[in-house]
Amino acid sequence: MIKSPDVSKTVLIVEDEQSIRDVLVELFEVEGNAVSSAELLPEALERLRTQRFDLVVTDLRLGGKRDGGLQVMALAGMLSPDAMVLVLTAYPDDSNRQASFRLGALHFLEKPVDLATIAQYAATVGVRSAFAPAVSN
């Protein structure tokens, strides 16, 4: 998929809790970003197959699937290898943390996560948000 000239960064939000997904989408729906979202694993995998992303924010457990977020990270690593991957979880055990890092996650964040923290991490790879402008390289 080709980015339109006015879109500089692409963001994928994968979260099964609608209220959290909506807040994260709103955080990144600013000028210069194209934001996609997915509720469950099949939808997330389809998005990853059809578009490259600069930032992927994924919940670890999706729709009761313990490894849903890990599958998202694995495919993101293959199809959007330059993407920054942020993992959100309410289950921050050590095995999940280690698996996430092995699959390319740069940050493993325990819910509830401060939106400013997510925005700050995103800005380091040039993704703008409602909180922070992009950091120029």
CATH number for position 21: 3.40.50.2300
Amino acid at 48: L
pLDDT greater at residue 56 or residue 5 = 56
Q: Is residue 131 part of a domain?
A: no
Among residues 36, 34, 32, the alpha carbon closest in space to that of 15 is found at 36
Q: Is residue 2 part of a domain?
A: no
40 DSSP 8-state letter: S
Averaged pLDDT for residues 47-75 = 94
| Helix then strand then coil, % of the chain, to nearest 5 | 35, 20, 40
Report which secondary-structure segment, H or E, holds 59. Answer: strand 55-59
Where is average pLDDT lowest: 45-54, 95-104, 126-135?
126-135
Query: What pLDDT digit, counting tens, does each position of 88-129 carry?
Result: 999 888 999 999 999 999 999 999 999 999 999 999 999 999
Amino acid at 90: A
Domain limits for position 91: 9-123
Amino acid at 16: D
Q: Say what the pLDDT of residue 97 is.
A: 94
